[in-house]
Amino acid sequence: MSTAIPHHSAVTHDHGHGETEPAAIGLPNVKLCMWLFLVSEVMFFAGLIGSYIVIRFGTAGWPNPYDILAVRITAFNTFLLICSSVTMVKAFQWSDAGDRGRAKKYLLATILGGATFVGIQVYEYRHLLHAPSTALFHVVEHEMEKRGLHAGESESHAAAEASRIVLASTGLSQVEQQNEQLLRLHEVLATGRPKVKKTAPPSQQAPLREWDRRALEETIKLAALFPEDDPFRAKISKIGKHHNIYPEGFVPGRDNFTSTFYIMTGFHGFHVAGGVVALLVILAFYALGRAGTMAIEVVGLYWHFVDLVWIILFTIVYLM
């Protein structure tokens, strides 16, 4: 994506849409400033990525991202951002060819792609910040609704404990055993995770640890009643792993993984949001005839850089 610059003139023209500022070292000043800005951004993200790699491989017991993060959704989000880079190229090409109508359509498509990317990232953050027990409760309730089960059918905890041995020795079908265990897990989750301050003494945190233990134990028992390839088992197993590692939710500052995750993806999300705003401004000025191909090319350099950085972040944060 480049614009031919005459070497014999200090002034360049933007395909009939007005003059640009005088050229410096063979580049229009606006493009030179963007390249200088991107160089500083390269150093900024190189520092973040380098620090992450050092921390990642220097920390024992690093969680498996597949157990915590929404890898599939983020993979789609990555594909969406790559597609927006393609529409950015098309916007430049059509503007360079003099077709401003198509250029505006592709600019709008790029804006929609970037905005959707940010929206999905916000959705992922909200999902991660919630305690996994909340997600598990909704999954269990949905499964109970499908089976026509109601919470009032569950036994008391004491009676449920007393009947476990009986359950194993009776001729209950697999579906009936699944239903019984669903009701037991729902009974635990319905009480809600006790709210205890992190600074509270260990004696006050005992009920919280006991509740986490029971929720995880009942989840494991429920998962064991389903075939290994069952989607419901896969879903509650992943939530169970999440609960085991981050019972209070994937909150910033919890450990090195949470801290580096939110810093890196958050800064990148801020850059994408800033790019969307810049594209909206360019589109408005372009529609009014006050901006031309050079403006699209310059903001396109920034957009491609942001896309490239995300491909690197997705690889090392979500897949490593």
- Predicted pLDDT at 21: 55
> Which pLDDT belongs to residue 122?
95
Question: Is 172 part of any domain?
Answer: yes
Are residues 113 and 214 located together in one domain of the fold?
A: no
Predicted pLDDT of residue 208 = 84
Burial of 187 (0-12, 13-18, 19+ CB in 10 A): middle
Same domain, 139 and 125: no
Domain containing 92 — which CATH number? 1.20.120.80
Verify that 179 and 97 share a domain, yes or no: no
In a domain, 92, yes or no: yes
Token pair of 116, please? 């959707």
User: What tokens appear for 289 in the block?
Assistant: 């005839």
Maximum separation of any 2 CA atoms in the chain, in Å: 93
Question: Could you list the residue range(s) of the whole structural domain that residue 214 is in?
Answer: 132-245
Determine the Cα–Cα distance for residues 43 and 147; give it in Å rounded to an integer: 55
Q: Tell me the HSE value of 112 on the side-chain side, using a 13 A CA sphere.
A: 9
The Cα 246–Cα 6 span in angstroms is 60
Q: What is the SS3 assignment for 19?
A: strand
Q: Which of 123, 120, 128 is nearest to 250 (CA)?
A: 128
pLDDT by 10-residue block (mean), the chain, 320 residues = 40 45 66 91 94 92 88 94 95 91 94 96 92 88 86 52 49 81 89 77 81 90 89 89 88 90 95 95 89 88 95 94
What was the pLDDT predicted at 312? Answer: 95
Radius of gyration in angstroms for the set of CA atoms belonging to the chain, rounded to a whole number: 27
Amino acid type, 37:
F
Question: How far is residue 257 from each of residues 98, 244, 246, 314, 320, measured CA to CA in Å?
Answer: 49, 15, 11, 14, 12
pLDDT of residue 28: 78
In angstroms, rounded to a whole number, what is the distance separating the alpha carbons of residues 108 and 288?
15
pLDDT at 170: 53
Tell me the whole-structure pTM to 2 decimals.
0.78
Task: Examine the domain organization and report whether 53 and 123 are in the same domain.
Answer: yes
* Count of domains forming the chain: 2
Q: Which are the contacts of 15, defined by CB distance < 8 A and separation ≥ 6? A: 95, 96, 98, 292, 293
pLDDT at 22: 57
User: How many Å from the N-terminal Cα to the C-terminal Cα in the chain?
Assistant: 32
Owner of token pair 């003059």: 19
Per-residue pLDDT, 43:
95
